[in-house]
Amino acid sequence: MEEDIKQKIKQLEERNAKLERRIELVNSKLLKSEELKSDFLSNIKNEINNPMTSILGLVNQIAASPDDIEQTATNANLVYSEMSALNFQIRNIFNAAEIEAGQSFPVISHINIRELIEELLHSFQHLAEKKNIEFDLQLEADESFCSDHEKIQVIVANLISNAIKFSHNDSKIIIRTHNDEESKLHIHVQDFGVGIETKNLGQIYDRFRQLDTGTRKEFGGHGLGLSIVHSLVSILEGTLDMKSKFNEGTHFEIELPPREVTDVELQEDEVLFTNDNEEGEVF
């Protein structure tokens, strides 16, 4: 009887020890998560404050010299550039919040893929020109595709933004689209920039995380972009493949299935369906 009690006490002690180890692990992860979020808030404050400060200064210059047409035009273009950057950052924050809250659902419509990509490139042209980056377009996919316009727009925008950010000056970015035999849409975005070290490949989709302090200081950003891409591709029931080699560049490929139109034929951009319920490889 005494031996049985000792055995049970021993078992309870072992279970308690395991529980304590698990609690320590959970606490460690929570602390790390809080550190990442705190770092994210610090970064995003700069990502929003910097363009806002520039915009206010430029608008003040325009107001101070309304008769200087040439300078006003230059400042207006700079305001547009800063506003585009600010809009991109804010949209990413909103998308991340919706994903975090489980409120990001597909809204399906007919999309002109060529127009979507060309409009995005126009909005990023000023950033590409700063680094003398050339876009090599190979848009071979069917122009009409049935999926979520806004989510594809956010996915491609983040990949283009990343490609520009991590490209070397005087380089190029290849953007290619095609359909496979199952009519799935493939979108490729390839740069020839700094690439990603093999040891960091498993962390690129982590929310709030940037690979190191040096990268953050040199290239900016807040660590949301690729996590948003990863989540939105999953919501659209697609796949995301990444190949990268340090100092040689990175290649992302998105594969998205088309959504079926089963009831009536609808006009382009008309909503078809709304769902209200619902590691890297080296070259």
CATH of range 2-100; options 2.60.40.10, 3.90.1150.10, 1.10.287.130, 3.40.50.720 = 1.10.287.130
Worst-scoring range by mean pLDDT, 65-74, 78-87, 205-214? Answer: 205-214
Sign of the Cα pseudo-torsion (119, 124, 126, 128, in order):
negative
pLDDT digits over 105-120, tens only?
A: 889 999 999 999 999 9
pLDDT digits over 134-183, tens only?
A: 999 999 999 899 999 999 999 999 999 999 999 999 999 999 999 999 99
pTM metric for this prediction = 0.70
Sign of the Cα pseudo-torsion (135, 136, 141, 144, in order):
positive
Residue 187: pLDDT band by 50, 70, 90 thresholds? very high
> What is the second-level CATH architecture of the domain 107-274?
2-Layer Sandwich (3.30)
Higher pLDDT, 278 or 60: 60
Residues 6+ away with beta carbon under 8 Å from 70? none
How far is C-alpha 61 from the geometric centre of its chain's CA atoms? 34
The answer to whether 125 touches 173, Cβ cutoff 8 Å, is no
| Residue 270 scores a pLDDT above 50 | no
Higher pLDDT, 157 or 90: 157
pLDDT at 185: 97
Three-state secondary-structure class, residue 36: helix
Query: Domain spans of the chain?
Result: 2-100, 107-274
Worst-scoring range by mean pLDDT, 28-32, 130-134, 192-196, 203-207? Answer: 203-207
The residues pairing with 134 across neighbouring beta strands, listed in sequence order, are: 172
pLDDT at 281: 41
Compute the radius of gyration of the chain from its Cα atoms: 24
Residue 240: pLDDT band by 50, 70, 90 thresholds? very high
User: CA 76 to CA 72: how far, in whole Å?
Assistant: 6
pLDDT at 23: 85
